[in-house]
Structure 1
């Protein structure tokens, strides 16, 4: 157990004199019917007035850091963010310095270069397999579940794996490349249930170690490797929850590699969170604390990258299912917190809660999407029939 610092919440702020920053925040939040110190579950309870200046100057970054610092609370963060995003409050607030810096960085560098590829693994995916084993279902699937018929997280994730394998048309003896294999849940499932040979690549040491352990004895090879190093032939390629780390400068390169790895008629299934519009940056708080160098693709960006290489055979959006998935992860996280608190401090607790619930609110507001896209090299002769 680590020697963790003491974190104490400040008392609720009372009888404070309103500043210009507070009046600005109050007017902005009112447009989404959110009150300061209100009594409804989605209202904010102010503990430290420093949150107003932090939000005014830092936008979403300052807002999130203020929550991590304990400067404000909210009974239902998911409901709060559903309201804020449904009413476009982030856009109305205007760009803040952190966002301008992101835009400048995007013009100057490739944030998802080979040299930076392993950064998100170290910062996020290597937080510890204890954390993720308590957060996720038994398959350790860290991506959206498929809730068409499921009533619980474990079933939703297993149904998602079954759906992916059905869309790929896996047959015994096929060779499958899993780009961003995580903790090996899909690789294990495909090998056991469909008799395929799998090569899985990840940029996380913790993921690779556990994936090798769970796939022991199966025709599965797990590599700690950047996807740009792959140069082999496969029957099928799949990527689940990894394309968000590729970056718009590299979408063409990703498609080139998948195309090169497949023979005529070979299928690529891309499972990715998607943006409703084309952008070159992501939320500054998410980028700093959760997924460094991450960026969500748009329909236009995926389609352009696929041009002259693939036929897009199917495009399936079940983004609303991510709301239920994230709320299930949050319930698991809070239930396990007494055990996790021996390894992580309270500021981490607030950070991870904020991450899970603000993302749930984004999917509930339909501000963010989840796509499964099936692409075929040269198209499927006779047509493709997509399972659902």
Structure 2
């Protein structure tokens, strides 16, 4: 868990006593051991009473915006979110905040928020903000997904182990053609080509990712394309998708898995690495949707199994969701240490947004609302027995 220090930017104690919070808020917080302007490091320090109105009328969106504007703080923000999410307080709000949740659920149900026309929105909003932020925050492989910490002492090792485990689960062999749906900055493509001798075709919707991935893989049999997964054609020995399925959306799950089925050779394997929610949620957190991953949606186990039925055989399902907490805290440490070199370009509001993003996600996985799944899928025609790898 992270604790702010005196050298961390923008943390300060309230300069004057603040008014008492509305009863509905204080009662909710008391149930999880949180208080307003308390002495515990996870307690919420209020600087402006309008925070309460923002929470009551806009729920999690108002809570996050108020933080970005510097209207409240918590010294140990990751633990604040752990406590809030462990008690499912995000689902217990009433009044106008509840109305907003229901409105968001209807929006997700009616509209295809991840249609092909919207496919590049998340790249413009998030992945294209600047490679310097991600290079500062991530390890040398530029892996922007959960690391595997079982036998690792640091982030670099944990990400290397994750990449190697993926390659072993796919049983990659020299000369095979690997398709990567959502290749990021080319970390897995580069690793698979260098260590397993495969040819790789990777796709991304981010121009910044494509440019850096092409640079990092220039000496290897790796092709990086800027395209949507629905436009892919051809046949591949193996397919992998890491941290991309969260952008597909329930209305497109059937199309996504059918596309993967059609692209995979008869005796091939498909590995899906995705965040999962412990229950089927009707919508995405409004703050995350507005400021970090527009039009994203975390799948549940039920949604995935329903979508793969009649398309794939489930060979293996591996959950290491608690490793994401440690991964996110490592990213935060790297980002915070690099902030002096980034601050002039990005400014205080971005710093607070990014801290809120990483800390609320750490709390999400620490509370076990969030899971991290790796599924290995095959076609029914495959005859060779699959042996699980860890």
Paired residue secondary structure (2:317): strand
SS of structure 1 residue aligned to 2:375 = strand
| 3-state SS of paired residue (2:124) | helix
| Cα-to-partner distance string for 1:148-200 (whole Å, 9 max, x where unaligned) | 00010000000000000000000000000000000000000000101100000
Contact 1:13 1:48 in 2 (8 A): no
**CA drift at 1:108:** 2.7
Aligned-partner SS, 1:115: helix
The offset of 1:377, in angstroms, is 1.0
Aligned to 2:219: 217
Task: Provide closer, same or farther for how the CA distance between residues 189 and 56 of structure 1 changes in structure 2, counting only shifts above 3 A.
Answer: same
Among candidates 271, 274, 283, match of residue 273 of structure 2: 271
Describe how 1:324-363 pairs up with structure 2 within 5 A: 324-363=326-365
**Structure 1: segments with no counterpart, 5+ residues:** 1-6
Cα drift, residue 343 of structure 1:
1.0
Correspondence 1:383 to 2:376: no
Q: Which residue of 1 aligns with 2:229?
A: 227
TM-align CA RMSD? 1.5
Spell out structure 1 runs of 4+ moving beyond 6 A.
7-11
What is the aligned partner in structure 2 of residue 78 from structure 1? Answer: 78
Q: TM-score by structure 1 length?
A: 0.95
In the TM superposition, what is the alpha-carbon distance from 1:101 to its structure 2 partner?
2.8
Alignment partners' CA distance in 2, 1:301 and 1:23: 38
The residue that corresponds to 2:6 in the other structure is none
Question: Mind listing any 5+ residue stretches in structure 2 that lack a counterpart?
Answer: 1-8
The answer on whether the counterparts of 1:55 and 1:63 sit within 8 Å (CA) in structure 2 is yes
SS of 2:251's partner is coil
Quote the residue 2:239 is aligned against: 237
Contact 1:239 1:271 in 2 (8 A): yes
What is the number of residues matched between the two proteins? Answer: 380
Aligned with residue 104 of structure 2, among 102, 105, 111: 102
Residue range with higher mean Cα deviation, 9-18 or 75-84: 9-18
1:34 counterpart residue number: 34
Of 146, 154, 157 in structure 1, the residue corresponding to residue 156 of structure 2 is: 154
Corresponding residue of 1:48: 48
Does structure 2 conserve the Cα–Cα contact (< 8 Å) formed by 1:318 and 1:371? yes
Q: How many Å apart are 1:90 and its aligned residue?
A: 1.4
| 1:201 corresponding residue in structure 2 | 203
Per the TM alignment, residue 27 of structure 1 is displaced from its structure 2 partner at its CA by 1.3
Query: In the aligned structure 2, how far is the partner of 1:183 from the partner of 1:38?
Result: 43
Instruction: Give the match for residue 4 of structure 1.
Output: none
DSSP 3-state at the match of 2:106: helix
Q: Provide the secondary structure at the position in 1 that maps to 2:92.
A: helix
Deviations 1:6-35 (A, max 9, x none): x988972634443xx632211111111101
Partner Cα separation in structure 2 for residue 197 and residue 9 of structure 1:
48
Instruction: Report the CA distance shift for 1:322/1:16 in structure 2 as closer, same or farther (over 3 A).
Output: closer
2:120 is the alignment partner of 1:118: yes
Give CA deviations for 1:73-99 in whole Å, capped at 9, x if unaligned.
000111111111111211222453432
Cα contact 1:12–1:48 (8 A) shared by 2: no
Aligned 8 A contact 1:274 1:298 in 2: yes
CA–CA distance in structure 2, aligned partners of residues 379 and 90 of structure 1: 44
Larger CA deviation: 97-106 vs 352-361: 97-106
Equivalent in 298, 302, 305 of residue 304 of structure 2: 302
2:129 is the counterpart of 1:127: yes
Q: Which of 289, 314, 317 is the aligned partner of 1:315?
A: 317
Q: Secondary structure at the match of 1:315?
A: strand
Q: Partners in 1 of 2:41 and 2:248 — Cα distance?
A: 37
